[in-house]
Structure 1
Amino acid sequence: METLTRVKILEPANPNKSTAIFGGKASGILNWNDIAHPHFYTLRQQIRALFWTANEVDMTQDVKQFASLTAREQDAFLKVTGLLATLDGPQTVIAMKIADFTTDPSVKSIMATIADQESEHNHSYAYVLSSVTTLDKQMASFEMGRTDEVLMRRNERIVDVYNDFSENPTIDSALKAMIYTTLLEGLFFYSGFAFFYNLARNQKMVGTSTMISYINRDELQHGKAMSDIFRAALAENPEYNTDEFTEWIYDQYRHSVEQEVIWSRYVLADIDGIDLEVMEGYVKYRANKMLRMLGLSEIYPEFTDNPMKWIRAYVDNFDDTKTDFFEQSSRQYVKTSELNGFDDL
């Protein structure tokens, strides 16, 4: 299997329009009016439209409210934040790694944009924790990714796939790394997001839920972009589009659903307002949704609809726009009916 090499910054002898996403030729000069996959321009524009920074979010009320959360809620708050930080940190790096080895300058640009946003997500978790708790608890939360046995077991395959691409960059390992990126962007975060949204619908920690909703919107766009780039790369390399590889993808999704369910039962048990059976259905619904984006079949036919319809109120993703910070109260404080909202979560 041919090893990919880091792409040179400029190779003027090559054409501006890339000949392939991986293993092709390109000059390194990016002309958005002359790219191999024109819809990649739209992907970047959609991601860029969501620009925000953590310190724009007012955490004043959360600072006051954190101490009034139940001990179980506080523990879950710290563990879920630790999980999200553990996952978002590597997302910055994997986007840059893909950028290193792609020969398509438009993909490099998209990855640079994703990496920047993932870096801000990671900053956001530190910002939230520094607002509401002591330094020692902040440190413990960020240590979870390498000390908590349940979390470490949950992340084993992520570690293996990402490190394999880093150490053995090939088209095969790049495709597999992109699959795990879709899992992170579209599945692994979502029980954690639901925890914060559940607090917000009970008028708790609304500033944090606002931050999470911005992160959530970013991840939806990242997941779509990565799915589209994956499909384009696979189309360029049809020899990898085998039954064996397809089954590998399904296996990773099944395994990831199992691990996400185990994690949610571990961290969200006894949280008022969260039904763990419904949460399991929501995780399976998210898996189906991401598989469809990859052009694959659903593996949980009984969960084609979102079983947690109340969660729709917390992300303004139906038109890819960002709610103004001064216009958030209607979204944050209104509990939705079963028919209200939209269905992109």
Structure 2
Amino acid sequence: MEHSKNNSYTAINWNNIEDELDKATWEKLTQQFWLDTRIPISNDLRIWRGNMSPQERQTMNLVFGGLTTLDTLQSQDGMSQLKLDAVNQKEEAVLNNIQFMESVHAKSYSSIFETLNQKSEIEAIFDWADTNEFLQYKANRINDIYQTGSPLQKKIASVFLETFLFYSGFYTPLYFLGHNKMLNVAEIIKLIIRDESVHGTYIGYKFQIGFNRLPEAERDSLQTWMYDLLYELYDNEEKYTHELYDDLGWTEQVLTFLRYNANKALMNLGQEPMFPDGAEDVNPIVMNGISTSTANHDFFSGVGNGYLLGAVEAMEADDYTIGLDKKDE
């Protein structure tokens, strides 16, 4: 994307909108802005120390270590690569916002670790994340696509990461939320999920514009590549999930949740589902927790466990069909 013409640097003009969804997404993301420092994580300490088994604490620590790795990937490499392919300045601005919030997400896990764990425990979490075979496989596989893939392949990788691969980690805090445990930690996760919903929707929309303009043979080839990649990532995610959840006996529930979210990722990309699993197959306690609305929080009294910065909801399917038809006529 060129920013200059006739040796004059081009100022971004938000009064001249090439794609209405750029403006709508910017407004939604800025309305949703939050920081981990406003959530009273320490209010969960009593539950963490007195009502969680050692295996439950270990699993939550490890899944958050994994999520930190993937958010670091998105903030350091993913969005910078997607910005190279932005088609206008407003799209690049939206991706700048997404990049920053991925850094906020990554830092949030460190805030959780610092509140709940000793220094030696935190070091062990990061050692595990930096060396786990299955976590490193998916991080490196996605990053390889970011570094060497086509613009549309990069968007596929980003949507698969944010709408599918994160959810093996999200399952744990949502499950505990449904059992009235770790409510403030879960509130951070719900805020992250709310962000990721918009990120996946927006990048999937941008993918669909480019995909629909491809000749039929190229579309067919990219579809094959896309489904092969998803199958490959799911195969690795099965192994990762067994390692994390076998001792708790949750593995099959988590895999159902993963397949459901893999289908959601495909939906964001305008594709048909790959798995038979629907929302009705997912643990209803977790599905109830995945609601992206947040509770109100009064920062002066410390009452509540939400983040009040305006009534904002996650993007719905109708939001990102704006302009698709007219753009692809």
- Normalised TM-score (structure 2): 0.82
Does residue 42 in structure 1 map to residue 19 in structure 2?
no
Does residue 292 in structure 1 map to residue 267 in structure 2?
yes
Q: Is the Cα contact below 8 Å between 1:234 and 1:240 reproduced in 2?
A: no
Q: For 1:255-274, list aligned pairs within 5 A.
A: 255-271=232-248
Q: 1:143 to 1:236 in 2, by over 3 A?
A: farther
Q: Is the Cα contact below 8 Å between 2:201 and 2:268 reproduced in 1?
A: yes
Q: 1:70 to 1:233 in 2, by over 3 A?
A: same
Q: Is the Cα contact below 8 Å between 1:285 and 1:305 reproduced in 2?
A: no
CA distance in 2, matches of 1:198, 1:235: 38
Deviation at 1:306, TM superposition (A): 5.0
CA distance in 1, matches of 2:24, 2:180: 36
> Quick one: which of 297, 320, 326 aligns to 1:325?
297
Does residue 82 in structure 1 map to residue 77 in structure 2?
no
- 61-70 vs 262-271, greater mean Cα deviation: 61-70
**Which residue pairs with 1:276 in the alignment?**
251
> Quick one: which of 118, 123, 133 aligns to 2:117?
133
Does residue 118 in structure 1 map to residue 90 in structure 2?
no
Q: What do residues 241-289 of structure 1 show as CA deviations (whole Å, max 9, x unaligned)? A: 4211110001111222222222122102232xx6422322221111112
**Which residue pairs with 1:11 in the alignment?**
4
| Larger proportion of helix | 2
CA distance in 2, matches of 1:33, 1:313: 40
CA distance in 2, matches of 1:312, 1:28: 46
Gapped regions of structure 2 (runs ≥ 5): 307-313, 317-329
Q: Secondary structure at the match of 1:288?
A: helix
Q: 1:240 to 1:121 in 2, by over 3 A?
A: farther
**Which residue pairs with 2:136 in the alignment?**
152
CA distance in 2, matches of 1:236, 1:80: 39
Greater RCO, 1 or 2 (C-alpha within 8 Å, sep 6+): 2
CA distance in 1, matches of 2:16, 2:247: 55
Q: Is the Cα contact below 8 Å between 1:288 and 1:304 reproduced in 2?
A: no
CA distance in 2, matches of 1:309, 1:155: 29
Aligned length: 302
Identity %: 22
Q: What do residues 140-184 of structure 1 show as CA deviations (whole Å, max 9, x unaligned)? A: 22233321123223434223212325xxxxxx2x22121111011
Q: Secondary structure at the match of 1:32?
A: coil
**Which residue pairs with 1:18 in the alignment?**
none
CA distance in 2, matches of 1:191, 1:140: 20
The alignment's C-alpha RMSD in Å is 2.7
> Quick one: which of 210, 214, 229 aligns to 1:233?
210
> Quick one: which of 45, 55, 62 aligns to 1:72?
55
> Quick one: which of 35, 39, 50 aligns to 1:53?
35
- Normalised TM-score (structure 1): 0.79
